[in-house]
Amino acid sequence: MASTPLGMYIHVPFCSRRCGYCAFNTYTLSEQSGSAQIHSDPIEQYLEGVLSEIALADESLGQNRPALHSIFFGGGTPTLLSAEQLGRILSAIVERFEVERDIEVTVEANPDELAPGQLEQLRHRGATRVSFGMQSVQPNILQLLDRTHDPERSLQAVSEARLAGFDHISLDLIYGTPGETEQDFSLTLEAALSTQIDHLSAYALSIEPSTKLAARVRSGALPTPSSDEAADRYLAAEAALQRAGFNWYEISNWAANPSAQCQHNLLYWRNHNWWGIGPGAHSHLDGHRWWNLDDPKLWAQTLSRGASPISGSERLTAEQRHLEDLMLGIRLAEGLPPHLAPRDHRTERLLNDGLATYQADRLVLTLNGRLLADQVISVLASD
């Protein structure tokens, strides 16, 4: 294995209710429960699968591997598992894998899915960072997005996480929801920044074809989000975050200081290595990618037979890896190193158009470039 850092992602494919905009591989527990099952509890069946897959990762990676740099419980809604259940997974990982001394362990959480004491217990069992899906502070937007929490709940969740001893707390926001006004989003930013977070992610609402929201847009019940409005919201986010002392380190991510940057997500953007555990999880090791069966029951049953849960794989060519390095790396404030963005006619064009600039010898997006990142990538990838 290459000496790049190694992370582990654990996908928890359950939510108490599906949000109409979300296309992630996630299921409600009632969708997953079946009386004819040997295991009628989908979470217990899932946990057995995760423990088997951790053992599989250990055997497959062999001993010549770096200590784990980060662990990320994503979803879905990882906090639908109890702290004891998430702790069982963490213990199984650290029993088999060496981990870096100051390893980052993130847990994604839905603000209104927390049991009393769950955050303290998670912190106690080794979680170092928590990320809440806040999305908006406006009731009408939360309702349109099918969120079940009231506006204050996300803000309370941040206070609870602080009290529980988390130093690293992030909020996710969504902007550009149909009907959202400039003021709706500025109130959302203000509310988010009034809390003790040290990290914020802000995503333009993406209309994913398979979702209920996409059907409402297709039927004309809701307008297509406007890209101009999304650009205005992005600029508002950048201005408010800068005023609050946050710096962007990836197009959609801002941190209050370098130690608040999400180490695990940096590993994706730097195209380093990670092993993904759980239904539908993707993995990457030195240009070899693979992904698991999506269906939680099929995934768990396959593992319980001692078979591989992988449903597909590909080995990237040098050209594909180069393109991925460009597409991912240009999103970062650290920019592209000279071997990916040498000074030539392409970068000259980006400099002339005000979309990128050189900081020392690295090519970095300007604010306009951040709004037009896809255009920048197509210029960099052109002949």
Ligand X SMILES: C[S@@+](CC[C@H](N)C(=O)[O-])C[C@H]1O[C@@H](n2cnc3c(N)ncnc32)[C@H](O)[C@@H]1O
Point out which residues bind ligand X (CB under 6 A): 21-22, 24, 74-75, 77, 108, 110, 133, 135, 172, 174, 203, 205-206, 208
Longest Cα–Cα distance in the chain: 65
Residue 19 is a binding residue for ligand SF4 (CB under 6 A): yes
Q: Are 132 and 171 in contact (CB under 8 A)?
A: yes
Closest-by-Cβ residue to ligand X is 133
As a whole number of angstroms, the distance between CA 237 and CA 230 comes to 10
State in angstroms the smallest separation of the CB of 343 from ligand X. Answer: 35
Phi and psi at residue 10, to the nearest 5° = -120, 115
| Interface segment toward ligand SF4; rule CB under 6 A; list 15-23, 35-43, 88-96, 212-220 | 15-23
State in angstroms the smallest separation of the CB of 268 from ligand SF4. Answer: 18
Residue 18 is a binding residue for ligand SF4 (CB under 6 A): yes
Nearer to ligand X by Cβ, of 97 and 132: the residue is 132
State in angstroms the smallest separation of the CB of 137 from ligand SF4. Answer: 16
Q: What x/- string results for residues 101 through 140 when contact with ligand SF4 is judged by CB under 6 A?
A: ---------x----------------------x-------
Residue 18's binding partner out of ligand SF4, ligand X, none, with CB under 5 to 8 Å set by partner kind:
ligand SF4
Residue 203 is a binding residue for ligand SF4 (CB under 6 A): no
3-state percent helix, strand, coil for the chain, nearest multiple of 5: 40, 25, 35
Q: Are 327 and 269 in contact (CB under 8 A)?
A: no
Reading the block at residue 221, the tokens are 């019940």
As a whole number of angstroms, the distance between CA 70 and CA 101 comes to 11
Nearer to ligand X by Cβ, of 49 and 75: the residue is 75
**Alpha helix (H) ranges present in 74-124?**
83-96, 118-124
Question: How do 288-292 and 282-285 pair as beta strands?
Answer: antiparallel
Residue 153 is a binding residue for ligand SF4 (CB under 6 A): no
User: How many residues are there in the chain?
Assistant: 383
